[in-house]
Amino acid sequence: MCSNDPILIKGLYGVLRDNGYKVEVVNHSAHAVKKTFKNKYSVIIIESESIGLSAEEAAQIIKSFHPDVPIIIAGDAKYSSNAMIVKRPIDFEEIKQLIGDIQKRNFERRGV
């Protein structure tokens, strides 16, 4: 998860952790991109930011070398062909549902 909003981090981290997900947090989109060079993730959540590398740009970079990783942009993104978007106000349950749907599709593809 990439966000510098302490309220979003606290709320979403708790919801995801309580549902059995392992969550790593970084503060900037550029750091999220760097982390994906070293680690593999099931889902990446990036909060849209008005400064620095945008969430849309980060999603595009990540997708260029991890095309199958689902990305969720939380916030004010207008459009992204590389990610699903959850608009403000951010609904933690909507993000949890999206991640659940992604996992379900992944299990179905593997025949699990």
Any domain includes 21: yes
Predicted TM-score (pTM) of this structure: 0.90
Any domain includes 101: yes
Any domain includes 36: yes
pLDDT surpasses 80 at 109: no
Using DSSP, state whether 26 is helix, strand or coil.
Answer: strand
Any domain includes 67: yes
The angle subtended at Cα 51 by Cα 56 and Cα 46, nearest 5°, is: 40
20's torsion region: left (phi>0), alpha (psi -120 to 50) or beta?
left
CATH number at residue 52: 3.40.50.2300
- Our count of domains for the chain comes to 1
Any domain includes 51: yes
Any domain includes 1: no
Long-range contacts of 81-86 (CB under 8 A, 24+ apart): 82/56, 83/46, 83/55, 83/56, 83/59
Q: Which domain holds residue 104?
A: 6-110
Q: What is the pLDDT of residues 59-92, one digit of tens each?
A: 999 999 999 999 999 988 877 778 999 998 999 9
